[in-house]
Amino acid sequence: MALPNHVGVVLLAGFQELEFWYPVLRLREEGVRVTVIGERPDQTTFSELGYPVMPQVAFADVPADCDLVIVPGTHKPLPAALADRVATLVRAASQRGLALAATGSSIATATQSKSTQGKLTTALGADDLPAFLRTLTGGSSKSLHAQIAVLCEHQYQELELWYPVMRLREAGCNVLIVGPSDTQIYGSKLGYPVIADLSIDEVNADDFDGVVIPGGFAPEGLRRSAGIVNLVRDLNERGGLIAAICHAGWVLASADIARGRRLTCVSIIKDDVKHAGGNYVDEPVVRDGNLITSRLPGDLPDFGRAIVDYLAKEPSKRRGDRRLAPSRGRGYATAAYSGPANVVMVARGQASANYMLTVVDSAGK
């Protein structure tokens, strides 16, 4: 498939977060115009976990110059009336000769119209999104062979972790999610669960070409781990890629690698970055040598493009040839989930005034 010029992405209540956002952001990275299509442009639509999005146009107003329509999946069955409206939209797009794509639960809705046969590109779920976008972009992504660590902790921002993971997987990198533990379920700010591929005790800076540090409030937990801070510091000293977004500037400060560097971050922590010696600028993405920084989820297209371009041009900084794989013979961390991770505060000990974050199930265990 050739790279489209203008893509309409359908927004449905209860949408699967990555099945919606990865195509939107990835296509923006390629410079494609993206229009979000929903029930009412003046009404916020929420994902299964509560991610809020406002559409730009209504179902009946698909722009005339669209050449591709994408229907992301949802976690819950659509009400009959809404399913009918989506089917009508798909049928009308097909009759106009537009290319069609659907993911997850929306594949069945998109295939109700016989006119979609031969025109439909699909992905069964969130883990298939890298291959899905490789098809939709005509294989435009560079083919890389880097080994990258993406860090995780509780209260990470959903897209700031998963977009780099999927973007670099799409580019051919061996991407390992690394956390303080490889058995703990880590929950995002909205409860999107992830289990690390490897614990910090199983890796060292020699293993990686680079590290991506997501934002949200996860950096507060990441900077408490001496192993995490040492990994970032050691990788920086070896000249490896350090990519940090949003609140990840806290980790740069703790690793003492902000000093004298030109960088950006979410504006609320700019004073922290300045006090750590960083030269803060308010730009979507900033590169200073091996350091790439961005501000917010909306900057992920620029962030992803900068990371891929860096890895395509810079020689590998790995000192060994060990190809890492998830611990205990598991598959790579999955982006699919059946329910939210409930992140709560628990006491650190009997009669202690201190507490910590953990994930509990619906029974509170």
Buried b (16+ CB within 10 A) or exposed e, 200-236: bebbbbebbbbbbbbbbbbbebbbebebbbebbbbbb
Can you give the residue range of the structural domain that contains 58?
Answer: 6-129
Q: Which residues pair with 266 in a beta bridge?
A: none
Q: Is the pLDDT of residue 153 over 90?
A: yes
Total number of domains in the chain: 2
pLDDT tens, 78-93? 888 888 888 888 888 8
Q: Which of 74-88, 238-252, 305-319 has the lowest average pLDDT?
A: 74-88
pLDDT of res. 115: 58
Inter-residue contact 66 to 89 (CB < 8 Å): no
Q: What is the CATH number of the domain that holds 216?
A: 3.40.50.880
Q: Is the pLDDT of residue 302 over 90?
A: yes
Q: Is the pLDDT of residue 364 over 70?
A: no
Q: Is the pLDDT of residue 2 over 90?
A: no
Q: Is the pLDDT of residue 98 over 60?
A: yes
Q: In this structure, are 155 and 264 located in the same domain?
A: yes
CA angle 230, 232, 233 (to 5 degrees): 60
pLDDT of res. 116: 57
Q: Which of 99, 129, 159 is the last residue of a domain?
A: 129
Mean pLDDT, the chain, integer: 93
With respect to residue 140, please indicate whether it lies within any of the assigned structural domains: no
pLDDT of res. 362: 42
Q: In this structure, are 35 and 95 located in the same domain?
A: yes
Token digits of residue 309: 């371009």
Instruction: Tell me the C-alpha distance between 311 and 317, whole Å.
Output: 10
Q: In this structure, are 179 and 92 located in the same domain?
A: no
Q: How far apart are the first and last CA of the chain?
A: 48
pLDDT of res. 201: 97
> Beta strands 52-53 and 45-46: pairing type?
antiparallel
Please report which confidence band the pLDDT of residue 351 belongs to, taking 50, 70 and 90 as the band edges. confident
With respect to residue 353, please indicate whether it lies within any of the assigned structural domains: no
Q: In this structure, are 161 and 111 located in the same domain?
A: no
Instruction: Tell me the C-alpha distance between 58 and 84, whole Å.
Output: 15
Q: Percentage of residues in the chain with pLDDT exceeding 90? A: 76
Inter-residue contact 241 to 213 (CB < 8 Å): no
Cα dist. 68→5, 22, 35, 231, 301 in Å? 8, 16, 11, 42, 19
State yes or no: is 275 an active-site residue.
no
Inter-residue contact 51 to 297 (CB < 8 Å): no
pLDDT tens, 42-61? 899 999 999 999 999 999 89
pLDDT tens, 221-246? 999 999 999 999 999 999 999 999 99
**Active-site residue, from 75, 154, 247, 275:** 247
Q: What mean pLDDT comes out for the span 331-355?
A: 91
Q: Is the pLDDT of residue 117 over 60?
A: no
Please report which confidence band the pLDDT of residue 363 belongs to, taking 50, 70 and 90 as the band edges. very low
CA angle 174, 179, 185 (to 5 degrees): 105
pLDDT tens, 10-47? 999 999 999 999 999 999 999 999 999 999 998 999 99
Q: In this structure, are 66 and 166 located in the same domain?
A: no
Q: Please name which of 240, 234, 185 lies closest in space to residue 208, comparing C-alpha atoms.
A: 240
Q: In this structure, are 160 and 296 located in the same domain?
A: yes
With respect to residue 344, please indicate whether it lies within any of the assigned structural domains: no
With respect to residue 94, please indicate whether it lies within any of the assigned structural domains: yes
Q: Which of 140-144, 209-213, 273-277 has the lowest average pLDDT?
A: 140-144
With respect to residue 228, please indicate whether it lies within any of the assigned structural domains: yes
Q: In this structure, are 89 and 214 located in the same domain?
A: no
Q: Which of 195-209, 238-252, 335-349 has the lowest average pLDDT?
A: 335-349
- Sign, CA dihedral 193-334-21-247, equals positive
Q: What mean pLDDT comes out for the span 52-73?
A: 94
